[in-house]
C-alpha cells in the first residue's frame, strides 16, 4: 500500500483512516492528520 500523502510504501500495521468506504494507510500520524484535514486533495477519483 501507499501513503496517499507522501507516496511512501507503508504496511497494513501503520496508521489508517477510512474515507468514503475506502481504507487509507499512512507512514505516520502527521500524514494521517494532513489527509483528514483535506482528504479531497489526496484522493483521486
* Residue of 24, 25, 31, 35 interacting with Zn ion (CB under 5 A): 31
Which is closer to Zn ion, CB of 6 or CB of 40?
6
* Alpha-carbon dihedral angle through residues 29, 5, 16, 9, given to the nearest 10 degrees: -100
- Cβ proximity to Zn ion: between 7 and 18 the closer is 7
CB of 13 to Zn ion, least distance (A): 14
The secondary structure element, H or E, covering residue 23 is strand 22-26
Instruction: Give the integer Cα–Cα distance in Å for 20 and 10.
Output: 20
Q: Which residues bind Zn ion (CB under 5 A)?
A: 3, 5-6, 27, 31
Amino acid at each position: 500500500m501507499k501513503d496517499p500523502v507522501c507516496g511512501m510504501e507503508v504496511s497494513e500495521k501503520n496508521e489508517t483512516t477510512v474515507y468514503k468506504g475506502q481504507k487509507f494507510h499512512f507512514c505516520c500520524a502527521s500524514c494521517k492528520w494532513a489527509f483528514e484535514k483535506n482528504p479531497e486533495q489526496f484522493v483521486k477519483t
